[in-house]
Amino acid sequence: MIDRLSVTNFKAFGFAEIPLAPYTLLSGLNSSGKSTVLQAFALLRQSYEALHEEDGGFLLNGDLVELGVGQDVLHEDYIRLDDSEPRIRLALRYQGAEYSWSVRYEREADLLRVDDGCDRSGSALPPPLSGTGFQYLRADRISPAVSYPRSHEIAVRRGFLGSRGEHTVNYLRHFQDEPVRDEHLRHPQARSSRLLDQAEAWMQEICPGVNLQAEAIEGTDSVRLSFRFGTAGLSASNRYRPTNVGFGLTYVLPVVVACLTARPGGLLLIENPEAHLHPRGQIGMATLTCAAAAAGAQVVVETHSDHMLNGVRLAVKERRLSTGDVLVHYFRRNVGEIEMASPTVGPDGMVSHWPEGFFDEWERSLDRLLD
**Whole-number pLDDT of residue 123:** 43
List the one residue out of 169, 303, 281 whose CA is nearest residue 225. Answer: 169
**Whole-number pLDDT of residue 367:** 75
Angle subtended by helix axes 306-317 and 279-294, to nearest 10: 50
For 323, which DSSP code? G
The answer to whether 300 touches 321, Cβ cutoff 8 Å, is: no
User: 224 phi and psi, to 5 degrees?
Assistant: -130, 155
**Whole-number pLDDT of residue 122:** 42
CA atoms within 13 A on the CB side of 132: 8
- Per-residue pLDDT 10s for the chain (371 aa) are 999 999 999 999 999 999 999 999 999 988 888 999 999 999 999 999 888 777 889 999 999 999 999 999 999 887 766 656 789 999 999 999 999 999 999 999 999 999 865 554 444 789 999 988 999 999 999 999 999 999 999 999 999 999 999 999 999 999 999 999 999 999 999 999 999 999 999 999 988 889 999 999 999 999 999 999 876 554 556 888 898 888 889 999 999 999 999 999 999 999 999 999 999 999 999 999 999 999 999 999 999 999 999 999 999 999 999 999 999 999 998 877 889 999 999 999 999 999 988 887 777 777 778 87
Provide the whole-model pTM.
0.93
List the one residue out of 341, 207, 367, 221 whose CA is nearest residue 285. Answer: 207
Burial of 341 (0-12, 13-18, 19+ CB in 10 A): middle
List the one residue out of 81, 56, 80, 58 whose CA is nearest residue 69. Answer: 58
| Contacts with 89 (C-beta within 8 Å, 6 or more apart), sequence order | 6, 7, 8, 9, 10, 81, 100, 101, 102, 103
